Structure 1
């Protein structure tokens, strides 16, 4: 089943707003930032479906017009159900100049025999920034479904001036690559990736990385966290752990730090 979500964030009189919105079942989008005073746009993506089903194809099309800021939020954990074939998700994000976009969704829970491929292609303008993440869990641990999925892939590409500046490809396929082997997740059951990329010139990349590393130190018993700096103004945060909620809250904390860098609106 093809499922569509399209949202355009506009900017007028110093405030970001929903300029256009189109959804099909099972999607629903609601505003969640009514009490915030920063004039940015906060939207939550909701679904009437219990999760992603065999044959589903999600199409997400997001556009930010100049000077707009949009933060998308998820409603709950995303379940990938048992599949005979596969399910797909394609996300397209177009960011004009002087924009800011953030999407830190809840963790993904792959059920036994699920097969899911997600691809995101992002075009970022000048003086802009993006914060985007994903967390993959081992599945329904209490049901004995520890990495019994068929395959999971999340491919992320970020372009600036039509040049590929960031590419991240996470693939989990337990039948081909033992998930607990050295160099993979080893003893851990949850893996998270958060990408931050900015085309602004005044970003203190090293200072932000130090702040994140210091914050991660308090979770040393529960998670292992590493940060890789990019040549440009950006970095990738990787986290390994045994629980999705702790990792998700840590990513939300990082999002809050980075989101406050955007003082345009």
Structure 2
């Protein structure tokens, strides 16, 4: 089933708001920032479906007008059910000048025989801040179902004024690769990726050092952070539980949101 979510965020006198939304089943979009004071828009993607089913095709479009700020949230873990074919999701994000976007979705739980292909395409203009994360679990670990999915792929491409600046492709195929071997998950069961990038010419070196000191020696995870070409960084985390990784990404988002994303727009 093809499902669409199309949202447009505008701003009036410095206050960002949801101007227009078009959704089809099972999507809903709900404002959740009524009590925030930072003039940003806070929206939650909700779904009446328990997860992605065979042949589901989710198409998401997000458009940020000049000077807008959006923090996107999800309702719950994203489950991928047993499939004979595949499911897919395409997310297009367009950021006009001086816009801010942050999205830390809940982890993905792929069940046995599931195949999921995701493509995130981001278009940025000048003076923007962008943050996006992704966490893939081994499956229903507590039910004894680990790495029984067929295929998981999440491709992210970030363009600045039409030029490709960042490309990241996470591809996991447990039946075709030594999934817990060296260079892949190395004995861990969960992997998280976080990308931060700005076109506001804000140096990220201090943040790279800060986050490594905070999480680089944390027990029961492997944490790595690398500077990207331009003003940005990428984080990879390996762990044994989804909630721990999700909490770390929320903490990173909170720090950047408060210190970097908003200070130029208050």
User: TM tier, shorter chain?
Assistant: over 0.9
Q: Which residue of 2 aligns with 1:238?
A: 236
CA distance in 1, matches of 2:123, 2:216: 33
Runs of 4+ in 1 over 4 A off after TM superposition: none
The SS at the match of 2:73 is: strand
Asked whether the 8 Å contact 2:89–2:119 carries over to 1, the reply is: yes
Q: Give the aligned partner of residue 177 of structure 1.
A: 177
Shift of 1:230: 1.1
8 Å CA contact 1:156–1:167 kept in 2: the answer is yes
Aligned to 1:249: 247
Provide TM-score, normalisation by structure 2: 0.97
* Alpha-carbon shift at residue 231 of structure 1 (Å): 2.3
Could you tell me which residue of structure 1 aligns to residue 102 of structure 2? Answer: 102
> 1:216 aligns to what?
215
Output aligned runs, 1:21-170, within 5 Å. 21-170=21-170
Deviation at 1:204, TM superposition (A): 3.1
Tell me what 1:193 maps to.
193
* Aligned 8 A contact 2:225 2:234 in 1: yes
Please tell me whether the aligned partners of residues 131 and 258 of structure 1 are also in contact (alpha carbons under 8 angstroms). no
RMSD between aligned residues: 0.9
Which digits, 9 at most, give the CA deviation of each residue in 1:181-237, with x for residues without a partner? 111102100000000000012x2311011111122146x212111001012100000
- Cα deviation 1:61-112 (Å, max 9, x = unaligned): 0000000001100101100000000001000000000000011001000000
Which consecutive unaligned segments of at least 5 residues does structure 1 have?
none
Distance of 1:176 and 1:184 partners within structure 2: 12
Retained in 1: the 8 A contact 2:156–2:169?
yes
Q: Secondary structure at the match of 2:165?
A: strand
Deviation at 1:30, TM superposition (A): 0.8
* SS of residue in 1 equivalent to 2:138: coil
Task: Give the TM-score, by structure 1 length.
Answer: 0.97
Would you say the 8 A contact 1:136–1:191 is kept in 2? yes
